[in-house]
Structure formats: structure tokens, C-alpha cells
Chain A
Amino acid sequence: MKALSQHRHHPMAYLVILLLALVATGGVYAAFQPRAAQAEGASQEDIAAGEQLFLANCATCHGTNGQGQTDADGNTLGPSLIGVGAAAVDFQVGTGRMPMQNSGPQAQRKMPQMNEEQTAQLAAYVASLGPGPSIPTADAVDPAQGDPVEGGEIYRINCAMCHNAAGAGGALTHGKFAPPLTGVEPKHIYEAMETGPQNMPVFNDSNISAEQKRDVIAYLDALEENGSPGGLSLGSLGPVTEGLYAWTIILALLMGTAVWLGAKAK
């Protein structure tokens, strides 16, 4: 202890303390940060295979190291993927949005181009670039464990203004849109809330907790399960399609009967 007390007024001591403090803060942060830096169970081989896939399919826009690219005019070709995490990759690639078919206001959903193994490898690689949200566990997205009533309230307040009360989707500005939520896998719904793909805001755990996300998934599941008790839903788009139906199908039926009744007896 004597040696320490002798040196505690040494000019370098402050630097040492600062370093120790930084290491401690970083260490505590690393220990308590919400998500692991890598997808669980990803091996070094997965990451290497993911890198090969990335170079072949993604690097054109996102850059060879996933750092993002801009064209000569400074427009973004592909954003940086450092820190987007495995969840973002699983959502974008798993729903077929990436690799993008063509540039436009927003990536469109299509048949996935990568199989599950390839998606996992890509996710492992991108997760290795920097810490980010990981793919949720099966329990975290299980509709049976969520509360649809709570989820419904969260959904109506946070989601329906873009995705429509029935999850039928809606328009955003300049050709962007909020896609329909019917037929979407629970984990993709979770990942979308977590990572905010395309024009969607991020709903991280401090906005909507992990349990609440599961509640939303449970509500959407209940909506889909209930179907349309009243008959044809007409796309669940509300009064406009109902009005169109009245002016086309119903009016045609009425006109048909009117012509029939108005016809002269032969």
C-alpha cells in the first residue's frame, strides 16, 4: 500500500484512473447491454459463409465491409449495416425485401431469395460487424403467451395509423407505404418493431417492452383468427370499398330487377 500512496500524486496517476474508469464503464456496459453482439450459437464458419454470401449479394450497395455506399452525387446506395444486428437481417432477407429487386421508394416484399440457413449465416456475419438487436427467441414471439387485449390497445395507438386498424396496410408519403400485416410471421413482426425497417420507426424496449411486443403479435394473431364474422371483408378497407360495392354489385342487381320488372309483357 505504501507504494501506491507514494505514487498517487504522480502526474500519470490521473491518466491511470481515467483508463480504469473507462474500462470499468465499458465493461459494465458490455455486461449489461440489452443484446449480445452476435447471434446466439453462430459459429466462426457461419460468419465466414455469411461473409461470402454478403460479398456476392449485398456488397454492391452496402459496401464490401457493410459500411454503406454512396454514389457520385452523394445519394445513399445502401445504408451502413454496422450495428443493425441479426434481427434486421433476418427481417429484411427473411421476408424477401433484401436483396432488393429494384430501387424505389421502399423495398417490396417478395419470395425470399435466401434459404433459412443462408439467412442465418448472413445474419451472423452482419451481427459480427457491430453489436445490434438479435433474433428473438420462439417464446418471445409466441402469440399464445401474449395478451391480445393489451396488444390491441397498443396496436390501435401506435400501429393502426399507418398499418390500418385491421392490419390491411396504408399509404405514406411519396409512394412509401406501410405493408399489410396479415400473413406475416410473428418473429418478423417483432423484428420490424425492434429494428424499424424501411420507413417504420424503431419501437425499442423502452417504448414498447418485449412483453408488449408479444401482446401486439397476439392481437394481430387474434384478428386473423377471428376472420370476418360478417361475411366478405372487402379487403377490410372500410367505407370506401363498401360504397364501391353498393355502387357496382348492388346497383347492378337492382338495375337488373328494375329492367326485368319494367320490361313489357310479351
Chain B
Amino acid sequence: MSTTTDTRGSSRSDAPEKGGRMARLGSVGGDWLDQRVGGARLVRFFARKIFPDHWSFMFGEVALYSFVILLISGVFLTMFFVPSMDEVVYDGVYEPLQGAHMSKAYESTLHLSFEVSGGLLMRQIHHWAALVFMVAIFVHMFRVFFTGAFRKPRELNWLVGFGLMMLGMVAGFSGYSLPDDVLSGNGLRIAEGLMLAMPLVGPYLSFFLFGGEFPGHYIIPRLFTVHILLIPAAILGLIGIHLAMLVAHKHTQYPGPGRTDKNVVGYPLFPVYTAKAGGFFFLVFGIIALVSATTSINAVWIYGPYDPSPVSAGSQPDWYMLFTDGGLRLIPGWESTIFGYVFSWNILIPMAFYGAFLAFLALYPFLEAWVTGDDREHHVLDLPYNVPVRTGLGVAWISIYLILCLGATNDLLAIALKLSINDLTWLYRISFFVVPVLVFFVTKRLCLAIQRHKRDLALHGVETSKVVRMADGEMLEIHEPLSDYDRWVLVSADQFRPLKAGKGVSGLRAKASSFFFKDYIEPVTPADLRKALEHGSHEQHKIDELIGAGTGDHATN
């Protein structure tokens, strides 16, 4: 299969009309339809749309497919789930709860799990697909972040993607709260606590959401509407915008010979990607179905029907909400009373932090553009090690996220590691401030080390560990030179260009720019390369001379 190059902005109206031996009826019918619908142009446009090929580009697809799976399994669940807080006495097949009082929501979840054919599998598919949806979104975001794919013109699409991530979190939270078991009720209780902690408006907000005192009778039907109507509609809408912008911008590509900011090198959507994407959907569905058929998730019958008094040991939210729990567990119990109002700093400070933490992620493209002053369009991706400060910041962000997640699991880890939960909590408190800084500098240094290594590789080729001693005692190592294609990637890095203060550039901005760019490894210039190649070929010549004929396999270029 040959690689196709699609020039950005070129018109696509030169489609050849290959008459072929089409069935006459089909031809006439198709023509009739096309004259009225005008689909051929659209189909031709999409069929010939070029996408670059790389496995790391496929996590957005995984998120999309898990969303489709969520819709399919979710429709099944709505057929049996009853979003009602009416109290009933359970008389289903699950013995340890027979005769227990519970809400209809919980009863219908048990019914769905134990009495509806395939119900438990569908519930598990829905829940596992939700976890996979969020995992895929995160991995996709990491890919976009570390390769700089969010740069102009894709900043807005990054924001849309960020919105999808936030909606995914809300969808997950509203979804796992629906079965009205003890664990989900505990989650809602925390949500109520967060609202109550807001000065002045807190109690009003809480009464507004719950329709009175917690938990009341309204929250489950309300969350149900949010979960099956509002959030999916919003997600669908944003996915539409996300994909439309993707088509409009064309996909980014990794650097390589012949790839520029003005073209896309890859395969056409039809037949290559339609086949691959179609197959991938079924593979993702298959993996989720396999996991759901073999691995239990959210066994609500164990938690029992919701009752506001009990909280089980090891109560945690689903993984994408873990970080929110982490801050609450790590912060000391600070609060103060001002003018008769209680300010719960132990909740307000973490909430403010989460806001800033997520805002940094959302606004990073704009922040970086301001720092670098880079106003060019980018369609060729950065290799992460070529932008050490961005990569360092990204890894530091992840380290904070991870520490918060670890903080939320401190009780489980204390048991697993046989450590004191108090010591672990202190470890995380200190790590929260120290680790991100350390991780930033270590990552940055590692990136620079990789740059240095790649520079050597471009200039001298691969060390083969074969050493030859010359007649005069000189030791020479045989280097395998890189192919032109491989070398191209290594010598095509973006040039270093910090903003200077003055001319409308503030001192702060110039400092930030200098911080972003100042540490770098001198890129390989054509002169360097020529010199290195000459030196290499000279050495190779000496080696060839010494070890005689028949060593054509070490020929230099």
C-alpha cells in the first residue's frame, strides 16, 4: 500500500469518473439520489480524507467507542432501573436482603443484577466502559499534551476535550450514585458536605439540589435525568464539535521525512481507516465485554441499601474522582468562625486547589503560547524530549494527581504495605509539595539527556560495541550510521527562540520565555553533520583497510 500525501487547503474536485460496468439500475438510482441529496461529494471528501498512522493516536477513538458502548448498555439498563426513592420490602432472590427495607432504585438494581437475563453483565459492561472511557480520555490528553498537539490552531479543541473530561466525571458520579447503595449514598453525602461548606450559599444550594434535607426523596430521580439525558446530550454535542474541528484542522503527525506543517502524510479514510476503525470498535467492545464477563465491578448487594448512618471501611469513589477525595483526606481539619459563620478551610482549600489545578490544565495552551510568543500553526508534533519544560510541567501535574489519588487510598495502602496510615498521610502531605518540584527537574534533565544522546546518534550513528585496534595501538569503535530517514527526525527539531523584554513584551513574560527555552542542547547544523560524517567515513576507511576486504556491510554513506 502506498502512502498518500494530502496537501492542506487543496481543493478536492478533481475526482475521476471511472465509468466501470456498474449495474444500470444502481447507477440510475444512485444518480437520482445523488442529484437530490448530494452525498457523493461528501462521501468523496471523507473517503479521501488522509489520516496519519500511529498507535498513540488511537486513544481518542477508544474513548469514542467506549462512549458508544455506554450508550448501548445504558439504554438496556434504563429499561429495568426504576429511579425512585419509594420504600419497598425486598422479596427478590438475593437471600441476605430478603425482607430488608430499601428504595425502589436499589431494589430494581438488585432485580436487574440477579433476575434479568444478562442484566449483571450489562451493568458490568456499563460500569467498566465508564472506567475505560475516562482512562482513554486521560491517555489521549496525555498524548496531546506531551506532543504539543494543543498548539495553534487546536487550542479550542483542547478546551472542548477538557470539557468532555469534566462531563465524563459528572456522568460517572451521577451514574454510580443511582443504585442508592451505601457506597453511592456516602458519595452523595460528601457532595452535600462540599456544598454546605460554601460560605453563605451552601445550605441553600444543598436544599435546592436535594429538595430539602439530605437525602430526601428527589435526588435519585434528579440524578437520573442528569445522567441519562443532560450529560449524554452534552457529551454527544461536544464530541460532534471535537470531531468537526478535527476534520477541519486535519490530524497532526509525528515528524518524519516529507512531513511538514503544510501536509498530512498517511492513508485515506476509505478503505484503510474505515476498516481499521471499524475493527477497532469491535476489539474495544470485545475487550470490555471480556473484562465485564470475568471481573466484578460495584457489587451493590454487598454495600446494602442506603442508610445515612453506616460508612464502610475502604469507601472510595471511582478512580477519576479519587483525586478529589485525596485532598480532603490529606488536609488537616482547619476551620474558623468569622461573624458567626463557620468556614471549613479543610474543604474550601482543597476545592479552590482543584479549581486551579484543573484550570491550569484547561488553559495550558494559552499559557504556553503567551510564554513562547509562538503564533505559527503547528501540524507536526513535538517529540516530548524536545520540549523539556512542557514535559516537566506535565509530569509534575501528573505527580500531583497521583499523590492525591494515593492520599485517597491511604487506608488500603496502609494495610497492603503494613504501614501506619498516619505516617502515610504525612508522607503524602510532604510529597504533595516536594515531589512535583523534584519530578519537574528530573524530567527536564532526562529530556536534555535524551536530546544529547539523539544528537550523538545523528552525528555518529549507533555504537556497535565492536572495537578494532589499529596497527599503531589506536582503538576505534565501529559505528553503524543511521539511515537518512531516521536521521531526518533527529535533525529537524524546532529552533530555539526566547522572547526578549521590550517591544510590548513585559519583563515577566521575557523571564518566563527564557525559563521555557534557556536549557537546550545545540541542534545539529548541516556543518556539524558534514564534519561528523567525514570523520566517520575516515575512521571507517581505516578500519576497512585494516580488516581487509569483504566488509562491505560497514559501508558508510
Q: Do A and B come from one complex?
A: yes
A→B interface (CB under 8 Å): 105, 148-149, 152-153, 156-157, 160-166, 168-175, 177-178, 219, 222-223, 226, 228-234, 236-240, 242-247, 249-251, 253-255, 257-259, 261-265
What are 19 A-B contacts defined by CB distance under 8 Å? Answer: A156-B310, A160-B182, A161-B311, A161-B312, A163-B313, A165-B314, A169-B313, A171-B412, A175-B420, A226-B96, A238-B298, A240-B316, A240-B408, A243-B131, A250-B128, A251-B135, A254-B62, A261-B280, A261-B283
Nearest CB in chain A to that of B414: its residue: A171
Chain B 55-84 per-residue mask, 1 if CB under 8 angstroms from chain A, else 0: 111110010000000000000000000000
Chain A residues lying within 8 Å of B95, measured Cβ to Cβ, are: 148-149, 222, 226
Contact A239 B120 (CB under 8 A): no
B287 within 8 Å of A by Cβ? yes
Known contacts A157-B307, A239-B319, A250-B132; decide if A234 and B295 are in contact (CB<8 Å).
yes
The CA of A162 and the CA of B313, in the complex, are separated in Å by 5
Nearest CB in chain B to that of A152: its residue: B96
Q: Per a CB cutoff under 8 Å, which of B120, B320, B415 touches A230?
A: B120
Contact A165 B421 (CB under 8 A): no
Q: Per a CB cutoff under 8 Å, which of B120, B183, B284, B319 touches A229?
A: B120
Chain B 394-424 per-residue mask, 1 if CB under 8 angstroms from chain A, else 0: 0000000000000011111011001111110
B317 to chain A, nearest CB (A): 6
Q: Per a CB cutoff under 8 Å, which of A161, A245, A253 touches B295?
A: A245
Nearest CB in chain A to that of B55: its residue: A262
Contact A262 B58 (CB under 8 A): yes
Chain B residues lying within 8 Å of A264, measured Cβ to Cβ, are: 53
Contact A242 B297 (CB under 8 A): yes
B207 within 8 Å of A by Cβ? no
A117 to chain B, nearest CB (A): 33
**A105-B420, A242-B131 given. 20 additional CB < 8 A pairs?**
A148-B95, A148-B96, A152-B100, A161-B313, A165-B182, A170-B415, A171-B313, A174-B422, A175-B420, A175-B423, A230-B297, A231-B293, A233-B299, A236-B299, A238-B298, A243-B131, A250-B288, A259-B55, A261-B279, A262-B56
Chain A residues lying within 8 Å of B294, measured Cβ to Cβ, are: 231-232
Nearest CB in chain B to that of A155: its residue: B304
Contact B183 A165 (CB under 8 A): yes
Contact B287 A257 (CB under 8 A): yes
Q: Per a CB cutoff under 8 Å, which of A105, A223, A246, A258 touches B302?
A: A223
A148 to chain B, nearest CB (A): 4
Main secondary structure of the interface of B (DSSP, over half): helix
The CA of A160 and the CA of B183, in the complex, are separated in Å by 11
List B residues 267-307 near A (Cβ within 8 Å): 276, 279-280, 283-284, 287-288, 291, 293-299, 302-304, 307
Nearest CB in chain B to that of A233: its residue: B296
Chain B 295-339 per-residue mask, 1 if CB under 8 angstroms from chain A, else 0: 111110011100101111111111110100000000000000000
Chain A residues lying within 8 Å of B302, measured Cβ to Cβ, are: 165-166, 223, 236
B112 to chain A, nearest CB (A): 12
The CA of A243 and the CA of B323, in the complex, are separated in Å by 12
The CA of A219 and the CA of B124, in the complex, are separated in Å by 25
Q: Per a CB cutoff under 8 Å, which of A165, A177, A258, A265 touches B304?
A: A165
Chain B residues lying within 8 Å of A242, measured Cβ to Cβ, are: 131, 297-298, 318-319
B184 to chain A, nearest CB (A): 11
Chain A residues lying within 8 Å of B314, measured Cβ to Cβ, are: 164-165, 168, 170, 237-238, 240
B231 within 8 Å of A by Cβ? no
Lowest 7 A-B CB distances belong to which pairs?
A243-B319, A170-B313, A230-B296, A262-B55, A165-B312, A175-B420, A171-B411
Chain A residues lying within 8 Å of B411, measured Cβ to Cβ, are: 170-171
B97 within 8 Å of A by Cβ? yes
B320 to chain A, nearest CB (A): 8
Chain A residues lying within 8 Å of B131, measured Cβ to Cβ, are: 242-243, 246, 250
Known contacts A160-B310, A161-B313, A240-B409; decide if A230 and B295 are in contact (CB<8 Å).
yes
The CA of A247 and the CA of B512, in the complex, are separated in Å by 35
Nearest CB in chain B to that of A220: its residue: B96
Contact A177 B415 (CB under 8 A): yes
Known contacts A161-B313, A171-B411; decide if A240 and B55 are in contact (CB<8 Å).
no
B38 within 8 Å of A by Cβ? no
B347 to chain A, nearest CB (A): 21
The CA of A263 and the CA of B97, in the complex, are separated in Å by 52
